Amino acid sequence: MSIDFPPVDEQLALISRGAVDLIDHDQLRSKLERSRESGTPLTVKTGFDASAPDLHFGHSVLLRKMKHFQDLGHRVIFLIGDFTAMIGDPTGKKATRPQLTAEEVNANSETYARQVFHVLDRKRTEIGYNSKWLEALGSAGIIKLAGRYTLARMMERDDFRKRFRENQAISIHELLYPLLQGYDSIALEADVELGGSDQLVNLLVGRDLMKEEGLEPQVVLTVPLLVGLDGTEKMSKSLGNAIGLEDDPSEIFGRTMSIPDALMWDWLLLLTDEPEDAIADKKKRVTSGEIHPKALKQDLARRLTARYQGEEAAEQALAEFEKVFAQGGLPDDLPSATTDGEIALGRALSQLELAASNREAQRLVKQGAVSVDGDRLTDPFAVLVPRSEPYLLKVGKRRFLNLTVQ
């Protein structure tokens, strides 16, 4: 069935919103023009290695760019790297990543396949698994593929070069990762591949391999890496600075309110459909003092909560936030936990998942971000002894827990 696509300039404006790299613009215009003339959609591929159990707002930047192509009428493939996840993407890594088992990858893949529909249209999304063709490739096919690329070209990568200089091990299987990801593009005959800005080198390998295969090379488009709640590092569950797509409404709202003011503008651009000129106008009005940044951040938090949990949940999260922070109250559904025997404060935070790790727990306590029964403590080794009444723990501005030590 022929599709009536919007004008090419209109498509390019939406596609390029928030993009970092576009290689190349003229080729994309040509593909879009041919697509519009023939009424045939472009094949747009995005790969996600199933290396973690949940998707977060950082992933949604890519998912939203896929949705842009989808809304324009193009064919979108959410490719789960169930094969490549067992290798582990070496991009930006200072050491070889631990290899995942097939069971871990399968469990993560099932989660991904469900969570993507918080952003993408279920009826218009194709989900693929690269094990389908990479397992069929076999050892002979992988050796043939490896023969198309030289070690010298692979060592041009900053991450490999740096590890080599510092005598850090580089496993042979890591060299295969970008080649196998590139083969995905051949298997799907991709017109466009999307990825994070840190993936540019991997995506360009796919472009090179397609040329050697005699296929028209894919256009490469990258998007920024979303900065997490700390305002410095890219969003990551392991760093404890992420918001999951399926987090509780109060978590989404409260964590969004915790971001530095300067981060709002990137979040508005990358996580909402707010027009760019409207974002620029808001930024100007905040700078002039006409609007308080808290009001804008609160609106952003409400919109993001509504996007993933619904309008009613967003309004309830807003009301609870006002009660807890503006009025100094406690949340209605105060969580509770119990431990046996005395426990150090830092260890309690990590064990109860109020901090991502023991090191993170110690940092939070030393920075004065933790209070017990209303008193701020700065010693992570302070001992909570058994008593009849629970301790009220507060971490940061919005995380509370009643802890019974028995």
Residues 85, 176 within the same domain = yes
Res. 173 pLDDT band, cuts 50 70 90: confident
Model pTM above 0.75: yes
Rounded CA gap, 274 and 14, in Å? Answer: 12
Could you give the percent of the chain with pLDDT greater than 90?
48
Res. 88 pLDDT band, cuts 50 70 90: low
pLDDT at residue 20 in the model: 94
The string of DSSP codes covering 2-66 is: ---PPPHHHHHHHHTTT-SEEETHHHHHHHHHHHHHHT---EEEEEEE--SS--BHHHHHHHHHH
* Domain end position, chosen among 326, 354, 384: 326
Between these two residues, 99 and 368, which has the higher pLDDT value? 368
Residues 318, 388 within the same domain = no
Domain count, the chain: 3
Cα–Cα nearest to 87, from 194, 183, 220: 183
**Helix or strand holding residue 252 (H, E):** helix 249-257
Half-sphere exposure of residue 227: CA atoms within 13 angstroms, side-chain side:
16
Amino acid code (one letter) for 136? A
* pLDDT tens by residue, 280-313: 999 999 999 898 888 999 999 999 999 999 999 9
Q: Is 327 exposed, middle or buried (0-12, 13-18, 19+ CB in 10 A)?
A: exposed
Cα–Cα nearest to 156, from 173, 171, 175: 175
Residues 30, 83 within the same domain = yes
Residues 343, 399 within the same domain = yes
Residues 106, 176 within the same domain = yes
Does some domain include residue 242?
no
Residues 60, 120 within the same domain = yes
Q: 41 lies in which domain range?
A: 8-223
Tell me: pLDDT of 95 over 50. Answer: no
234 DSSP assignment: B
- Residue 345: give its domain's CATH number: 3.10.290.10
